[in-house]
Homo-oligomer: A and B are copies of this chain.
Amino acid sequence: MRNSSNVVTLKDRQQNCESCRFYRDCLVKTDSSGRRPGSQATVVSGCVVRRGAHIFRMGDSFDALYMVRSGAVKTYWLASNGDQQVTGFYLPGEIFGLDSISTENYVSSAVALDTSGICTLLYAPLRRLCQSSAETMARLMGRLSGRIRESEEAFIVLGHKSADERMAWFLMDISRRQSTLGLSPSEISLPMTRTDIGSYLMLAVETVSRVLTRLQSNGIIQVRRNQVRIKSLDKLARLAESSANTAPAGVHAPRRAAPYWGDCRDLTGHLRPTTH
């Protein structure tokens, strides 16, 4: 990539990886032996992009995944009428571009919401690395599978929740993700525009604005431009969970009677292959 005005390539990448706060969970990390694969140098590189700069555009030929090191990124699809549908926001440590694996071209676009540090993970060598490192493969699989889970959770939220509940869920989600970065869970920043939030939550811009105002007048949050202070994490959580609750993963769901055939109720376990 050219060293244009708004993109800076990190010079000493090697050193940068070791000091990276996300090195512990990095896809390209060492395997359990502790040695770093020699191919790493060809896999990863970092750079800095300014707000509004695209990391890739829909239609560009796919060749890499990307990880946010600092700042924030949004991904979106472009509709024929010109406006965009936001498909995700990515905070430091999160990987985007996963939807374009095994396609010729990127199926979505990615743009920096702020001045951001971005790690490039070239896919071809990454794939080779997966062959030699079970740990790397497991990590990549985990990211892919996790992305599917997130989509499905969003599905639930958008399906049966009101505008207020969606916003509460969104704020709680950002809060949770920011707190895993060591930041305060009650002091969150929203680098994206209201339009972006609306697109993501399937709400009109005006509704987003109104909901934020409403939550503020209820004393649940305090909004100041792109800075939101959650005054009652408890209330916000209850609001996000109300009506259509997303049961936490790993918890046994209540076993209701099979909705179809009665004679299926004796099917106690799930399918297991017979051992030949």
Contact = CB atoms under 8 A, between A and B. Distances in A.
Interface stretch (A100-108, A175-183, A209-217): A100-108
Interface stretch (A15-23, A148-156, A227-235): A148-156
A142 B264 CA distance: 34
A211 B141 CA distance: 39
B146 A151 contact: no
A155 to B, nearest CB: 6
Nearest to A5: B263
Interface string A239-255: 00101111101111111
Contact of A77 (B66, B79, B152, B158): B152
A82 B256 CA distance: 8
A190 interface: no
Given A1-B272, A5-B263, A147 B148 contact: yes
B245 A159 contact: no
Q: Copies per complex?
A: 2
A53 interface: yes
Given A5-B263, A103-B249, A261-B51, A244 B144 contact: no
A186 interface: no
Contact of A270 (B56, B85, B261, B273): B56
Given A45-B273, A156-B85, A271-B47, A103 B145 contact: yes
B99 A152 contact: yes
Contact of A247 (B80, B243, B266): B80
Interface in A5-50: 5-7, 9, 13, 41, 44-45, 47, 49-50
A98 interface: yes
A226 to B, nearest CB: 13
Interface of A: 1-2, 4-7, 9, 13, 41, 44-45, 47, 49-60, 63-64, 66, 77-82, 85, 87, 98-109, 111, 118, 120, 122, 127, 130-131, 134, 137-138, 140-142, 144-149, 151-156, 158-160, 199, 202, 241, 243-247, 249-256, 258-261, 263-264, 266-267, 269-274, 276
Given A53-B264, A87-B156, A102-B138, 20 more contacts: A1-B269, A4-B266, A4-B267, A41-B276, A50-B263, A56-B271, A57-B270, A59-B253, A66-B271, A81-B244, A82-B254, A99-B149, A100-B149, A101-B142, A101-B145, A103-B249, A111-B259, A118-B271, A127-B137, A154-B155
Q: Which 9 A-B pairs have the closest CB atoms?
A: A52-B260, A45-B273, A80-B245, A151-B151, A101-B145, A102-B142, A56-B270, A59-B252, A52-B261
